[in-house]
Amino acid sequence: MSLLSIAQAGLIFSSIATALTPLPERAASRRAASVVEVRVTAADGRKLVEEALAQGDNRMLVLTLQPGASAFQVEGARVVLLATAQSGPLTCPVRISGVPAIQANRLALAAPDISTSGMFCERALDLLRQKSLESLSTHPWDLARRLAIASLDPKQPGPRLPVAGCVLPEQLNLKSVRAQSSFLAVTVEILPPDPGTGCR
């Protein structure tokens, strides 16, 4: 068989293989994820933390953010939360500082440091520290869910994706997060929707 015939046969087999590949699979192979950066302001961060802490079911300690805009701050490379920890009759102000991180596709604080004030609260700091850390680690901040909600309704508060169109939470992968001067910069990968699915 000549080289020309071999080449022609290869082209024929290649065409047959392409034709036999299901259309959805061929379409999926052409789709590509996009990567964007989302800015999470202090106001956005406060809302995310409040939503996460509201899901807490730890009766040993209730952790809530203090009133005011300063309850969520970005200081250098760290996030600072000003909260109130309540355990039974004991209520103490706590300052929680940590490095923003990604945990199970949600935002969280790594290497957290907790301090308090007042004689009774200082004595109870070991208990407050342990229970506050448990509350934070078991309720990371669901940025993907918040972004998906905002993509469906323009009246929703931020944070918001810098692209048009609605997305589902499962289409969003948080890739990295870093603290800037006054906000968190989160790199988000937007996956294409599965064939036949749409925003709910």
In tens, the pLDDT along 145-198 reads: 999 999 998 888 889 999 888 899 999 999 999 998 889 999 999 998 877 676
Structural domain contains residue 37: no
Task: Kindly report, residue by residue over 130-150, the tens digit of the pLDDT.
Answer: 888 888 888 899 999 999 999
Question: Is 66 part of any domain?
Answer: yes
Q: Where residue 57 falls among pLDDT bands split at 50, 70, 90?
A: low
Neighbours of 7 (CB within 10 A): 10
Residue 98 lies in a domain: yes
Q: How many domains does the chain have?
A: 1
Domain extent, residue 114, equals 58-139
Residue 85 lies inside a defined structural domain of this protein: yes
pTM more than 0.75: yes
Separation of alpha carbons 144 and 169, rounded Å: 5
For position 124, which CATH number holds? Answer: 3.10.450
The answer to whether position 170 is within a domain reads no
Between the two ends of the chain, the Cα-to-Cα distance in Å is 58
Could you tell me the CA-to-CA distances from 76 to 44, 69, 98, 118, 192 in Å, in that order?
18, 17, 11, 27, 35
Residue 161 lies in a domain: no
